A and B are shown apart, each in its own frame.
Chain A
Amino acid sequence: MATGIRDKVCILGMGCTKFGERWDMSAGDLMVDALRDALEDAGLEKKDLQAAWLGVHIDEINIGKGGTYAGMNLHLPLIPVTRVENFCASGTEAFRGAAYGVASGAYDIALAIGVEKLKDTGYGGLPDSPAFGQQMIFLGPNATAPGLFAQLATAYAAKFNIPMERVKEAITHVSWKSHQNGAKNPRAHLRKAVSKEQIMGSPMVAYPLGLFDCCGVSDGSAAAIVTTPEIAKKLKPNNPLVKVKALQISVSSGEEAMYDKWDGAGVLTTQTAARKAYEEAGIKDPRKEISMMEVHDCFSITELVTMEDLGISPPGGAPDDILNGFFDLDGQLPCQPDGGLKCFGHPIGASGLRMIFEMYNQFLGRWPEDRAVKNPKFGLTHNLGGIPNGNVASIAIFGVD
């Protein structure tokens, strides 16, 4: 009988670069920074790493294919390096690979490292790529990510009969809140607080999403070194242990894209992964028990529907919670305490690990007072990769002993 991942793995050390337009650094250079910081935090050396998982999605300009770029660039000691590529969940997938590696007993210490260098693509926004196969060049729309996610807003407004102005007001608050948080974070790409008027008045990108409803595009890398609680206690006897409580992935079945039942106003995979993750972590009432979240705010509307998909807000209730400040840094359940994708941008393979980095450091009480979450019990990270009707969702839940 499968028992899940709960309490079988803990984080020994993490590193995360500053995210941004890192014109001076290659993907390899960014990974060196993330790995060095993670090793230093863990008190280990490269030779202690027994296996590695590399999370990267579309950067083949710097990285090419496979795991060799990471092995050769970081000069890892001839250990297995497995590249995992699963849209925006790639970073969390790398973490999952490393966590399962140590939980299985195959390894004592494993590395998860995520990286993406988007600024060499020449694109504002994600580059065009046959993400769903070349058949879709002929059968799919001439679409971009903002337009595909924007449709959540039209479906949401229609389903709950909420005027688009109210939805727009709520998603404006989402971006406003993230900019408030990101402004305090030296690793964030965008570090300016912006007014709601600026957000609301920004040029339309894809109706009803304006420029400030979209996350940035940036370069970055983040890394985690994981082990078992037993080994962690030996290596760091005086440190609290940040433990993995749940790791869940859900991938679309094609139902959302082709069948008539899905409401279009939420994401089935997030709902499914969340349900399984709560069960794995032993969480009964997520709205009360979870202390902080980093969710996949590729677009402000994604964060809004995610609040309902995670079972935090009731159906149709996310706009009220958002506008009541429930998810603000000083609210009941801070969401994006580090500034989120909104301020970090979205170097795809790194984002999931960047979120885990935020949880890890919050649990260890390492952040200054003005952006610290008080006495966190459970911290949740969430990624949504692909598009609302065809995607992969990942949920990771952490806790501290």
Chain B
Amino acid sequence: MVKKIYFHSIFFSFFFIKETFAAESGGMPQLNPEFWVSQIFWLILSFGIMYLVLSKLILPKISNNLESRKSQILENIEAAEKQRENSDAKLKEYDEIISKSKLEANSIFNQAREKAIKDISAKREVLDKQIDSEIAEAEKEIDTLRKNAPNKINKIAIETSSELLQKLIGAEVNNSSISAIVEDLFKRNGDKYYGN
């Protein structure tokens, strides 16, 4: 504050005593009015030209640059947002395709399995029938064999006993009497011999 007042007083006092200051060589050169007009003239000239060039040519360009940068950044952000949305949609689509194809693969697999099972069961049925008929045939054969077996055995027994008798007694024995005995034995003990 004191400093300010001091300089004010210097400034104002100058109007009244400029002759003394101008004469004083050791004083402040600022208060020497010799070049004041020159300084004012060159200040107005240089500052004026600078102001005109700055305001008309340079500053609009800088503001333009700043604006265009701002708008470009906004545009880029917008574009990035759009691309992100795009990629999100594509990702969704891709996911959908994957899940759909998974379902499809599943159904194809199921169909194939069902078909295979059907085939297998059909073939098994055929085979079962074949096996059944073969078993039946075999059983029939066994049955006939079994039915025929006592007759053959009887015959063998009759022949063997007639041979044995012939060797033992040296005379031919009537076959019909032997067969009667065998028949009688068979009837009585047939169950015991053939195990039915």
The answer to whether A and B belong to the same complex is: no
